Amino acid sequence: MTTLKAKLQEDLTTAIKARDELHSSTLRLTLSAITKEEVAGKEARVLSDEEVLKVIAKEAKKRREAAEAFAQGGRAEQAARETAEGEFLDTYLPKQLTDDELVAIVAQAVEEAKATGAEGPRAMGAVMKIVNPKVAGLAEGGRVAAVVKQQLS
């Protein structure tokens, strides 16, 4: 069992004992998603901490998108709950890059891509290949793509 998964299970036990319904249900759903990922494929396996972080990030993103959909549908109470769940899951994720840090990393990657001859909007793929390993888990893909697009145009 990974240390991060063990921490999630400990936090679940604490939340249940404290009768904290929001945190306990969020942790249950997240642990369920982790277990589902572990048994997906041909063989069951144990996820590394890095893989568990990816599952948590995916779950947090689902909460943000659901909150947005509920808000647009006029269901403020449900949107508030989804937002709270997303913010709670964010506490387990590494701190996200600020816009300035992300712009600096992308600018450096654009320069590297130009050195290899890739320029303009067609260089998007080359720049993303350079940027993605540097920002993995620290910035959402859509945010990164938007900054790359802005820098290339």
How many Cα atoms are found within 13 Å in the side-chain-facing hemisphere of 81? 9
Q: In this predicted model, what pLDDT tens digit does every residue of 106-117 receive, in sequence order?
A: 888 878 777 777
The answer to whether the beta carbons of residues 132 and 106 sit under 8 Å apart is: no
Tokens 């277990």 belong to residue: 35
Q: Which two tokens stand for residue 12?
A: 């679940």
The answer to whether the beta carbons of residues 82 and 66 sit under 8 Å apart is: yes
**DSSP assignment, residue 75?**
-
What is the full per-residue pLDDT of the chain (153 aa) written as tens digits?
Answer: 458 889 999 999 999 999 999 999 999 999 999 999 999 888 888 888 888 888 998 999 899 999 999 999 999 999 999 999 999 998 888 888 788 888 888 888 878 777 777 677 777 777 788 888 887 777 777 888 888 888 777
- pTM of the entire predicted model: 0.74
